[in-house]
Chain A
Amino acid sequence: MGTINISKKYTAKQKSYIPAILVGMKITMKRFIQGFFFRKHDTIMYPEVRRKYSDRFRGMHFISVDPAKTENCTACFLCETICPAQCIHIVADERDEDENPYGVKKEKKPVSFDIDALRCCFCGFCEEACPKDAIKLSGNYELAVSSREEAFYDLDHLKRPMNGRNEK
């Protein structure tokens, strides 16, 4: 009733395995010749050669800064609010006058801005929520670190010099 018979009748040719084995060997020999004589590979020599990722790729975070190296972030907590992984931790305070040489006074500043990259799911919601275009996700996909502490990005790390989103 509830069973389905999936057993299949094989021909003698199929049962002898030999033709199928020969077909398989033909394929591997073809690939062998391609690799050996024509240097045709599907993989790349990674550290020297890098794949071009999409412009919309979301990698390691950074915070954009103004020409005076003051972060654009105003500690509005919108990224912390939207973050589905709850990996952003901000402590806010009043910004000193002398930290505002450019433009309009930035009233509020982040005293600390920590991203726990181990919890981050790289959804990019923080980037969308940010009213100041401060937090962004760069194209840097080399996120490996040698200790757990290094995966907590603090404000200094996030403010590292970046010229554009796609810079490593």
Chain B
Amino acid sequence: MSNTDFEIKKPKVDLNYSSHLKPVHSDPNPEAKPLPKVTIDGKTYEFKPGDTIMQVAERYKIHEEIPRYCYHPGMPIAGTCRMCTVEVEKAPKLMTSCSTPAGDGMVVHTRSEKVMKSRTGVMEFLLTNHPLDCPVCDKAGECELQDYNFEYGPAKSNFKEEKRVYDNATTKKLSPLVTLNMNRCVHCERCVRFTDDITKTNDLVMVNRGWHKELEATTPEGLKNDYQGCLTDFCPVGALTWNDFRFQKRSWFLAKKPSICDKCSKGCNIEVHSDADVVYRYVPIHNEMVNGHWMCDTGRNSYQEYMNPLRVISHMMRQEDKMHSVSIEAVLASVNAQLKGTSSVQIVIGTDSTREEAALLKDKVPALIGKNVSVSYFNGTGVNTPADDKKLDNLLKMKDQTANSRGVEEQGLTPLTNGELTADVAVLFRNGRTGIPKMKADQKLVLWGVWSQSEIQSLPSKNILGVIAGLATIEKEGSYKNADGIVQKFHPAIIHRGGALSAHHVVGLWKSLT
């Protein structure tokens, strides 16, 4: 009887911090110096001089064979957790793969008996003090401690003593956004290195030593940086949890679809976590060209505007001095008639609309209205044109709070003069991110796209001809050109359950009316 009759397959750990490192190949020119080679688990890989063993593994996407807690491809190497140790032939001891530089001709075993025993030992030590509160822990289901314990951990612990419990540390608010549960911490110090080296705010520090080692904020106010959500992403256990997501949903219920954050012109790649088409959080996806591994807190919480119960998700029209929810055909017929009866029409495209929508509104809609139509774009978030855009910090945040300023300008449009509506009737198309242009108190308006009731009520003009509900970024298809000129295409991450329609759908219906 063989041992492979039943084998628990290694869980597919979606660590979401894949490396940007790519495989390298020696120059085929025979005179060039060949790249060094390292043998990992019987296969030989070429690498760039200076790589550590872990980085070589990442180059060839075999890094999931090596568990790690403290190592993170986006952060400096620390080598504190001892989880990533591998056996290197001719080395007397196990080597930490994250910090040991690979050498030419080195032979590495990542799953030898000695290595597995070491990992089991490390897991047992980590679990001595880790509380058994997975049922209430929000990290459960995506927890690296759980995953690695399932794979490498001991079946039972030799630890008979009482577990360490930090005083008053069960739930400690590090900031309004992040909660710390120190009992769960495995002291990998990723969070400390993140604030030291990535945000450079030095918010967090480990105080005391050994048994009493405890994470604390350096200032009484707690965390101050704008990337606190990333702490909760890469925390391998449930020590740091995101308050907004805390206790909302268990991670295994979440459907995960990629999309783009449209809260600023950076265009961070995100994963939309939803259940039953209700979004519970955004999580960044690694993209070295755009956002690396990170994402700002403003963008992380920007889904709330799309999940806002006040968002208008049905088409509305003014009937008997009140706004009423009516069918799209009724709104279009009314709007179409009134647009044709006026002297001048102005279409204002928000810079948060996709490139496709901008093209559609610029090319197709004026033809439908027929006469004297001017088309311009409007930003309204502190910048007028993409040229005004600038970095707010040394990481990701941008001044432009809309996603597609460059993409809209690229369509040959001009910004709205003085940010003020001039024509008889103005058609405002936006995606919920741009500001509101200045207007006269009796300006006739057609609102199109993502609007909320509060925004509509705060408009200077009450003369609204109709509201056409549009899809939000996470619900539609399209592409954005970000501040760096990178065009990114995205697909719907959730299905819109209200009455909102895509711009193409609305224009098609409008065309069938005329």
Q: Please report A residues at the B interface, Cβ cutoff 8 Å.
A: 74-78, 81, 92-94, 105-108, 131-132
Instruction: Describe B's contact surface by its main secondary structure.
Output: loop
The 8 Å CB contact of B133, one of A92, A93, A107, is: A107
Instruction: Describe A's contact surface by its main secondary structure.
Output: loop
Contact check, A75 vs B247: say whether CB atoms are below 8 A apart.
yes
Interface string of B124-154 (1 = CB under 8 A from A): 0000000001111000000000000000000
Give every chain B residue within 8 A of A77 (Cβ-Cβ): 250, 253
Most B CB contacts (10 A, CB to CB) among A76, A105, A106 go to A76
A81 to B247, CA, bound (A): 15
Give every chain A residue within 8 A of B26 (Cβ-Cβ): none
Please, could you name 23 A-B residue pairs with CB atoms under 8 Å apart, sorted by A? Answer: A75-B136, A75-B247, A76-B135, A76-B136, A76-B250, A77-B250, A77-B253, A78-B135, A81-B252, A92-B247, A92-B248, A94-B171, A94-B247, A105-B170, A106-B136, A107-B133, A107-B136, A107-B171, A108-B136, A108-B247, A131-B134, A131-B135, A132-B135
State how many residues of chain B have any CB contact under 8 Å with chain A.
12
Contact check, A81 vs B250: say whether CB atoms are below 8 A apart.
yes
B22 contacts the other chain (Cβ, under 8 Å)? no
B246 contacts the other chain (Cβ, under 8 Å)? yes
From A108, which residue of chain B is reached at the shortest CB distance?
B136
From A73, which residue of chain B is reached at the shortest CB distance?
B135
From A131, which residue of chain B is reached at the shortest CB distance?
B135
A94 to B138, CA, bound (A): 12
B320 to nearest A CB, angstroms?
Answer: 38
Residues A74 and B246 in contact in the complex (CB < 8 Å), given A81-B252, A105-B170, A107-B170? no
From B136, which residue of chain A is reached at the shortest CB distance?
A108
Interface string of B241-267 (1 = CB under 8 A from A): 000001110101100000000000000
From A92, which residue of chain B is reached at the shortest CB distance?
B247
A50 to B452, CA, bound (A): 61
A76 to B136, CA, bound (A): 5
Interface string of B160-190 (1 = CB under 8 A from A): 0000000000110000000000000000000
B280 to nearest A CB, angstroms?
Answer: 12
A75 to B248, CA, bound (A): 10
The 8 Å CB contact of A74, one of B135, B170, B171, B253, is: B135
Give every chain B residue within 8 A of A93 (Cβ-Cβ): 247
A14 to B493, CA, bound (A): 76
Give every chain B residue within 8 A of A74 (Cβ-Cβ): 135-136
B166 to nearest A CB, angstroms?
Answer: 13
B161 to nearest A CB, angstroms?
Answer: 17
A108 to B246, CA, bound (A): 10
Give every chain A residue within 8 A of B253 (Cβ-Cβ): 77, 81
A166 to nearest B CB, angstroms?
Answer: 26
A77 to B249, CA, bound (A): 9
A57 to B253, CA, bound (A): 31
A133 to nearest B CB, angstroms?
Answer: 12
A142 to nearest B CB, angstroms?
Answer: 32
Those 3 A-B pairs whose CB atoms lie nearest each other, nearest first: A76-B135, A108-B136, A92-B247
Give every chain A residue within 8 A of B134 (Cβ-Cβ): 76, 131
Give every chain B residue within 8 A of A94 (Cβ-Cβ): 171, 246-247
From A106, which residue of chain B is reached at the shortest CB distance?
B136
From B131, which residue of chain A is reached at the shortest CB distance?
A104
From B135, which residue of chain A is reached at the shortest CB distance?
A76
Give every chain A residue within 8 A of B252 (Cβ-Cβ): 81
A93 to B134, CA, bound (A): 16
A78 to B134, CA, bound (A): 10
A105 to B170, CA, bound (A): 8
A94 to B133, CA, bound (A): 14
Give every chain B residue within 8 A of A131 (Cβ-Cβ): 134-135
Most A CB contacts (10 A, CB to CB) among B170, B247, B252 go to B247
Most A CB contacts (10 A, CB to CB) among B135, B246, B250 go to B135
Give every chain A residue within 8 A of B246 (Cβ-Cβ): 94
A47 to B135, CA, bound (A): 42
A108 to B135, CA, bound (A): 9
Give every chain A residue within 8 A of B247 (Cβ-Cβ): 75, 92-94, 108
A80 to nearest B CB, angstroms?
Answer: 8
Give every chain A residue within 8 A of B248 (Cβ-Cβ): 92
Give every chain A residue within 8 A of B135 (Cβ-Cβ): 74, 76, 78, 131-132
